[in-house]
Amino acid sequence: MEPTVVMIRASAAAVDVVRGIGPGELDRRTPCTELNVRALLNHLIYWTGARGYGAGLKQPPQPGEVEQGHDFTAEPGWAEAYAARAAATAEVWSDPRAWIGETALTGNGRLMPAGFVGGILLCEWLLHGWDLAVATGQQLTVDDDLAAAAYEDVAGRAEMARQYGAFGPEVPVPSTAPLFDRALGLSGRDPAWRREA
């Protein structure tokens, strides 16, 4: 399945989880041990709602653009604002032209293959969508196409991502497990992780 086909569905899956997070859950721990729910939400919103959009258009950060570290969850209506931002980003990345050439995701101007950046956004929505879902007692909706796209991307970048600290050590997952669980394991996540009571 071409990644362009699944971006809108991946975004929508993550947005469903984000909309289900209540104010009392922002301080909960997540599978990303260094980030609680609030911090992980701000990470997700920044990369897939702000920078991911510009990267799909091959645009550098714009004057006045929000900076990394901004607390989006402190803004009124932040979840619905993110839903709109994420949909716009997914729409941009649903255009095959977004995947051609090079683009920059960060503000340092470092260019990377656009397909690599698109894969980062796909994984942000699906892997961090799962992180937020299990941290808040929800379930991320991942169909077979999304699972296949996630597994293919994670498998292709896992070794490099581990070297740069983006993924943790691989968690062994049986080869008979669902494909998305295997993608989680490759990315250093334990599919059996559950939030504390």
Q: pLDDT tens track of the chain, all 197 residues?
A: 677 789 999 999 999 999 999 999 999 999 998 999 999 999 999 999 989 999 999 987 777 778 788 999 999 999 999 999 999 999 999 999 999 999 988 866 689 999 999 999 999 999 999 999 999 999 999 999 999 999 999 999 999 999 988 899 999 999 999 999 999 999 999 999 998 87
Helices (H), the chain: 3-19, 37-45, 52-56, 78-93, 114-123, 129-135, 144-163, 179-186
pLDDT of residue 42: 97
Q: Judge whether 170 and 158 are in contact, CB under 8 Å.
A: yes
pLDDT of residue 1: 60
pLDDT of residue 79: 97
Would you say the C-alpha torsion 49, 54, 55, 56 has a positive or negative sign?
Answer: positive
- CA 102 to chain CA centroid, nearest Å: 20
- CA 180 to chain CA centroid, nearest Å: 14
What does the pLDDT look like over 19-56, one tens digit per residue? 999 999 999 999 998 999 999 999 999 999 989 999 99
Nearest to 52 by CA among 120, 129, 126: 120
